[in-house]
Amino acid sequence: MKIKFFALITLSATLIIMLAGCPTPTKFTLTVTTSPDLALDIRIDGTLFTSPKGMIVNSGTTKQISVDTSQQKDISSWLTGIDSRYVFSNWNDASTSNPRNVRVNSDTTYTADMNAEYRIDRASTPSLWEVFSTWYERGSEVEFSTFQQLETYNFSHWLINGENRGSSNPIVLVIDKPLLITAVYAQQQAQYTLTVTTIPETGLNISIGGTNYTSPKTVILNSGTSRAIEVTSPQEKDKSAQVTGTDTRFTFIQWSDTNTNNPRTITLNSDMTYTAEMKVEYKVTTGTNPAGGTVDGAAWYMAGTVKNFTAPVRTGYTFSHWVVNGANMGDANPITVNVNSPKNVIAYYNAETTTKNVFGIVTPYTGNIKTADLNEMEILSNTEIRTTNDKPEYIENEYLLKVESFKEVEESFSTSSLPEIQIIGRIEDYYGELQYIHVRTTASEKELKGLPGVVQVSRNSTFYALETTPNDTYYSLQWNYPLINLPRAWDYAVGSRSVVVAVIDSGFSTNHPDLAGIFESGYNFVNNNTNVSEPTTSIDSHGTHVVGTIAALTNNGKGVSGVTWGGFGITLIPIRGIKGAAALMNSIIYAVDHGAKVINMSLGGAVDSPAVYDAVKYAARNGVVMVAASGNNGDGNILYPARYPETIAVGAIWEDEGTIKISPYSCYGSELDVVAPGGYKLLGTDPNGIYSTGWTPTGDTYMYMQGTSMATPHVTGLVALLMGAGLTDPDDIRSVLRSTAIDLGSPGRDDYYGWGLIDAGAALEAITSPQEFKVFLRNPSTGSNIASTNLSDSGAYHFSNVSLSQVKVYAWRDMDESGTINIGDLLGYYNYSGGEPNLNNAQTITLSGGDNWIDFQFAPIIGD
């Protein structure tokens, strides 16, 4: 193979050497055309063409060109037959030779200027005379008139090639093409309607016969009546509440029949409408807040004008942002404003102060971390609805006694005739102003109130973590969530945008109303493009269903709920990758390289692919948690990739009249980690399935499905909740899932249920030392941190009273809890826009007095 390859190279080289002695001739374009009209007969070397005609010729070639003269054409659809006549005048280079020979040494165009005549046909409607024709030279200015009255008809208006040109009689036209001039007549009536209006806006001041109106106005007049019509010009109106006084100016241009007289007198012989076309100008006012500055540019502008405004430098103030017509338009300076309405442009300033505050939003970067492909994202928010028992509950025989003196009351316990009073503990504040004794006794509340020194007695009432209940329409059908104690988990967390989850599946309905806005850009490794939508042949909407369980929009009053509350619970990357080992391997690597820390794989195969396993190990080395379905074959052979020790293998269970059972199809074995609800249904609408978002070729929907594929996203969602709440190390996550699982089957771990059914509430409660996502301020001169704060679930942070004028700001999550920045950790800083995060690249920021808003992005540090 190598010998053939080198032989081909040698032959090609020889061919190149041979061709080097024969230079390729230079080519140019020769174009022959006509004016004022095209599609006329021309000839090049005697061959007939229609203009324009271009051809490529060798440099130095001589061609004979000509135009036929005279010639006749039918160029207008309004006239029948020949309507244009042409006679050659000269070429565009002043040559009058025709034909002529030309030598081509460059790209050249020759235009034959033709003297043109056009046919003008005159007709009437209804047909009151025979159509008659006249020929006129192009450019002639001709006056046409018609009878004002004819038989029982009154002249109404002209139609010129079908266009209404008004009722002026006579009418003057410039002949620039063939014309069909039609005099339109209306049957004589006693009265007609006259309408006067304005564009582009109505409500303007007009007059008819000297009486003032606002447009549009319709009056009824006797046939043949003449009236003066007029639009006030210029006139100003107050159209906007944002600009004080009149803010819109209208100036007359012409009437709709192109007449420019204002006022004008018309004679009404039919129902007619006259529209005044107006030029519109808008007033722009400017100012500053606080007052005292001047922003140049306050004036009247033509509608649609684009104008730049600049906030001036003001002593003692720092420019903050623009407000245009009451809306915050950001801090770009200058700002570009489209004057499409009256505008009030205000530059806002902050008074300079020594106090500096830093605010911002930190979001995941989900472009390719290795190629720095920026991908902006939106931060959303939501509210929680929490419920608890509505009946009071108390710890039996326990009371809280508010006292004036511990000593007096405690001594009375031994001297009173009440049943034994056991002191559980004292409760007091630092200053001793609040003093309570916590006791246990069978004495009554009334008896305890009678003790000396007791000010108040209250029973020891119980408090519970409020179990969060979403208001989604179909939440009552999601039996699977209470089964894993998810409402209790939602008391602790509903998800964090800092957690990036990738879902590798069959396709996704990215426009589903219950999934709107949850997706970042993804990739399709089945078809090698960026379209991750469900294939049009999809019959089960597998990927759409899986994603709904992980992150459907929750507490939005419709549809279903997600384990994480979609919309602000996580950042989700959709990947179509269910095909072969190559697609799956690419999908896993893509997920890691685009910042995913959790990967859902509701998929499986019977073959141990070394390539896929290499990708799984690559993800594991980078601290990514992979959750995979055990398989639906109902045997003891767990499928790949769930079979790999680096993944969390998930089996499926269902609830049979209150009893939790393994789903008959769920694969089992020694590699199984945990189980989650996957359902078991005998019919398509069997409520023992998992209800989630769905899609069919007829549109978006909701549907029941079953399988370990449906169980897996429950675990993925829980992992995302744990990670957002501060449990970040993959080994710790696996340990918590196992230790908090509800034991099923044989005591301890077994091959059918693994470590048991996931318990979301217990898992969240097990986090004792959360690894917070921290934001730091650093002194760029010393390299030391001067302050830190925790990033909120929505990605927000805040520092108050910063003393330094220059800082660096960065965010770090120590995913493996090592105490040092290394592979797998999340790191970001101001000006990060892709590539491997490196704290040395953080940009120094000069702070102004007052509030400084600094947003930035983060990404994982990826190793080999």
The catalytic residues are: 505, 542, 709
Give the separation between CA 88 and CA 496, rounded to whole angstroms: 79
DSSP 8-state symbol, 431:
T
Name, in order, each residue with C-beta under 8 angstroms of 422's C-beta and a sequence gap of 6 or more: 439, 440, 441
Name, in order, each residue with C-beta under 8 angstroms of 560's C-beta and a sequence gap of 6 or more: 472, 473, 474, 475, 477, 478, 514, 548, 552, 691, 692, 693, 702
3-state SS string for 754-788: ECCECCHHHHHHCCCCCCCCEEEEECCCCCCEEEE
Give the three-state DSSP class for 250: strand
- On whether the CB atoms of residues 372 and 404 are closer than 8 A, the answer is no
Name, in order, each residue with C-beta under 8 angstroms of 856's C-beta and a sequence gap of 6 or more: 360, 362, 809, 811, 828, 829, 830, 831, 832
Burial 122-142 (b: 16+ CB within 10 A, else e): bbbeeeeeeeeeeebebeeee
Q: How many of the other CB atoms lie within 10 Å of CB of 225? A: 16
Name, in order, each residue with C-beta under 8 angstroms of 792's C-beta and a sequence gap of 6 or more: none
Please give the span between the terminal C-alpha atoms of the chain, in angstroms, as a whole number: 33
Could you tell me whether strands 500-505 and 571-576 are parallel, antiparallel, or unpaired per DSSP bridges? parallel
Question: Cα-flanking dihedrals φ and ψ of residue 224, to 5°?
Answer: 85, 0
Give the separation between CA 340 and CA 363, rounded to whole angstroms: 35
DSSP 8-state symbol, 839:
G
Give the separation between CA 110 and CA 100, rounded to whole angstroms: 11
Sign of CA dihedral 432, 434, 439, 444: positive
Question: Cα-flanking dihedrals φ and ψ of residue 20, to 5°?
Answer: -65, -25
- On whether the CB atoms of residues 507 and 538 are closer than 8 A, the answer is yes
Single-letter amino acid code for the residue at 685: T
For residue 508 the two structure tokens come to 């996704």
Single-letter amino acid code for the residue at 426: R
Could you identify the residue written with the tokens 């004080």?
Answer: 244
Give the separation between CA 114 and CA 134, rounded to whole angstroms: 20
**Vertex 808: Cα angle to 804 and 811 (nearest 5):** 125
Q: Which has the closest alpha carbon to 247: 204, 209, 281, 288?
A: 281
- On whether the CB atoms of residues 101 and 91 are closer than 8 A, the answer is no
Rg (CA), the chain: 42
Q: Of all helices (H) and strands (E), which one includes residue 613?
A: helix 610-621
- On whether the CB atoms of residues 771 and 815 are closer than 8 A, the answer is yes
Give the separation between CA 560 and CA 571, rounded to whole angstroms: 19
- On whether the CB atoms of residues 464 and 475 are closer than 8 A, the answer is no
Could you tell me whether strands 132-137 and 108-125 are parallel, antiparallel, or unpaired per DSSP bridges? antiparallel
Give the separation between CA 157 and CA 285, rounded to whole angstroms: 45
For residue 686 the two structure tokens come to 């069997």
- On whether the CB atoms of residues 730 and 623 are closer than 8 A, the answer is yes
Could you identify the residue written with the tokens 């399988």?
Answer: 707
